[in-house]
């Protein structure tokens, strides 16, 4: 497992650098897997951005709705006329205006009918639905990532724990052999062999402890938690590894309609269908009404401009040289592409589920095998150590027993990690999100 995860932990070194910016909290936070997931849903920055997108979508609905509601605008205009025109009436010149004047008016307008507005209002609501489902997807993704990191942290801690047990046995055995060597009952070369064995295990324990610390920092990063503050994982790995916990995953059913990723594609299809409808409405007229009231601070002797005006405007598209038809055709083809994408996503998710199910079943079988192998390897190592101290087994036998134990333990924890990751993947695929 050490070799398998080396590249992962090297990449986590960059994540750990962020901890320099945090200030440690002396009180560790107790986190179960469920609590960790909920904490991440509330604090992970990617999820927070998805929540902001949803809030923006809600505001977009009102923005679109407001287009069809009454609009009131006011203007104030000052103008200076350098030479006011005049007209002669009955031999007397009369100015047809004023040199300086300030006008103000208030105009109220109301959209009466617009097909594009109606479709836009529907599209804004679907856009909100897209944002909601993207939020559910972000939450689902972070739950899977947190679960995998949480499982890995538990596995690493358990790996360290078991290796320390082996380390303790080796330390005690070395002390016994050194004592026997001083009495001349064991050759010095046999003592040196156990020293080498202990040094190898000590180095492996130290390496795994560093990796376990890096794993928890990755988990904190996903949680949106201060990297400098300590956490304690309260779930017990043995409780998670019960037979009943895994047998329910051996024969799961899958309904693609409940999958979060599929629902995101579904809403994208709805949005594209509304885009087709929007281009269709470009062939329809737009009707709006208005009322305007205008006042002037100074009025000329002859002023025929009315103060109050009301009217209706009809905008009718007549001829655009085929541009609207071309736009509608493009929208229909984009909609067809979206339908193809949905079908492709449906088939892909079914394949992904089958693959994940197969991976889980294989991982479960491998886990059970490696669990038995670990028990046997530890038994062989302990028996060989006893025989070695008695002078019955050779250093080669002891080295082989040690190598077999470490290799079997690595395979066991790799199988365990693979099994838990496969479980997290199935949880994500089969979870029902509203």
Residue 345, pLDDT score? 94
Which sequence spans correspond to the domains of the chain? Answer: 2-70+113-284+320-430
The answer to whether the beta carbons of residues 128 and 108 sit under 8 Å apart is no
Model confidence band, residue 167 (pLDDT cutoffs 50, 70, 90): confident
The DSSP H or E segment spanning 88 is strand 86-89
Predicted confidence (pLDDT) per residue in 245-274, tens digit: 788 888 888 999 989 999 999 999 999 999
Q: What is the CATH class of 2-70+113-284+320-430?
A: mainly alpha
86: closest CA among 301, 234, 274, 291?
301
Predicted confidence (pLDDT) per residue in 53-93, tens digit: 999 999 988 888 898 889 999 999 999 888 888 877 777 87
The answer to whether the beta carbons of residues 56 and 262 sit under 8 Å apart is no
Q: How far apart are the first and last CA of the chain?
A: 38
Ramachandran region of residue 154, left (φ > 0), alpha (ψ -120 to 50) or beta? Answer: alpha
420: closest CA among 219, 163, 234, 241?
241
Q: Whole-angstrom Cα distance, residue 203 to residue 79?
A: 89
Quote the percentage of the chain above a pLDDT of 90: 52
pTM exceeding 0.85: no
412: closest CA among 359, 372, 362, 357?
372
Instruction: Return the structure tokens found at 11.
Output: 């990449």
Residue 318, pLDDT score? 86
Residue 432, pLDDT score? 52
Q: Is the pLDDT of residue 94 over 90?
A: no
Mean pLDDT calculated for residue range 354-376: 94
Mean pLDDT calculated for residue range 207-215: 92
**Count of CB atoms within 10 A of residue 401's CB?**
22
Q: How far is CA 80 from CA 64, 71, 75, 416, in A?
A: 40, 30, 17, 87
Chain centroid offset of residue 178 CA? 56
CA angle 122, 128, 129 (to 5 degrees): 90
Residue 90, pLDDT score? 72
The answer to whether the beta carbons of residues 88 and 127 sit under 8 Å apart is no
Predicted confidence (pLDDT) per residue in 5-60, tens digit: 444 444 444 444 444 444 445 688 899 999 999 999 999 989 999 999 999 999 98
Strand 308-315 relative to strand 231-233, pairing: unpaired
Strand 286-296 relative to strand 100-114, pairing: antiparallel
Across the chain, what does the average pLDDT equal?
86
Among 170-174, 302-306, 426-430, the range of highest mean pLDDT: 426-430
Q: Whole-angstrom Cα distance, residue 186 to residue 333?
A: 85
Q: Is the pLDDT of residue 102 over 70?
A: yes
Residue 9, pLDDT score? 42
Residue 163, pLDDT score? 87
The answer to whether the beta carbons of residues 279 and 324 sit under 8 Å apart is yes
Model confidence band, residue 426 (pLDDT cutoffs 50, 70, 90): very high
């Amino acid at each position: 497992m050490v070799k398998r995860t080396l590249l992962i932990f090297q990449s986590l070194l960059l994540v750990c650098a962020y901890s320099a910016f945090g200030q440690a909290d002396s009180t560790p936070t107790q986190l179960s897997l469920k609590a960790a997931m909920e904490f991440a849903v509330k604090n992970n920055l990617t999820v927070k951005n998805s929540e902001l997108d949803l809030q923006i979508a809600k505001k977009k609905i009102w923005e679109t709705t407001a287009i069809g509601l009454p609009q009131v605008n006011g203007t104030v205009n000052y103008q200076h006329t350098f030479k006011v025109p005049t007209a002669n009436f009955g031999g007397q010149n009369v100015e047809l205006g004023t040199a300086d004047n300030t006008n103000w008016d208030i105009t109220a307008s109301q959209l009466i009918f617009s097909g594009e507005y109606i479709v836009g209002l529907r599209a804004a609501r679907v856009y909100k639905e897209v944002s909601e489902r993207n939020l559910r997807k972000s939450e689902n993704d972070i739950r899977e990532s947190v679960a995998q990191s949480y499982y890995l942290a538990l596995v690493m801690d358990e790996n360290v724990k078991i290796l320390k047990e082996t380390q303790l046995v080796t330390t005690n055995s070395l002390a016994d052999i050194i004592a026997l060597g001083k009495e001349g009952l064991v050759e010095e070369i046999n003592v040196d062999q156990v020293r080498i064995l202990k040094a190898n295990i000590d180095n492996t324990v130290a390496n795994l402890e560093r990796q376990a610390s890096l794993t928890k920092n990755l988990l904190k990063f996903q949680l949106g938690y201060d990297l400098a503050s300590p956490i304690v994982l309260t779930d017990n790995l043995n409780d998670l590894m019960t037979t009943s916990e895994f047998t329910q995953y051996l024969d799961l059913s899958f309904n693609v309609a409940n999958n979060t990723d599929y629902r995101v594609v579904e809403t994208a299809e709805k949005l594209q269908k509304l885009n087709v409808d929007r281009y269709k409405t470009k062939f329809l007229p737009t009707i709006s009404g208005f009322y305007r009231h205008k006042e002037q601070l100074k009025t000329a002797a002859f002023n025929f401009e009315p103060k109050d005006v009301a009217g209706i405007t009809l905008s009718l598209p007549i001829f655009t040289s085929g541009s609207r038809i071309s736009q509608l055709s493009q929208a229909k083809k984009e909609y067809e592409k979206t339908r193809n994408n949905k079908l492709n996503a449906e088939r892909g998710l079914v394949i992904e589920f089958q693959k994940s199910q197969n991976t889980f079943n294989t991982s479960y079988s491998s886990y059970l095998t490696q669990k038995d192998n670990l028990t046997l390897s530890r038994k062989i190592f302990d028996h060989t150590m006893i025989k070695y101290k008695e002078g019955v087994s050779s250093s080669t036998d002891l080295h082989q027993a040690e190598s077999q134990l470490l290799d079997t333990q690595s395979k066991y924890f790799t199988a365990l990690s693979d099994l838990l990751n496969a479980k997290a993947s199935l949880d994500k695929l089969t979870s029902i999100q509203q």
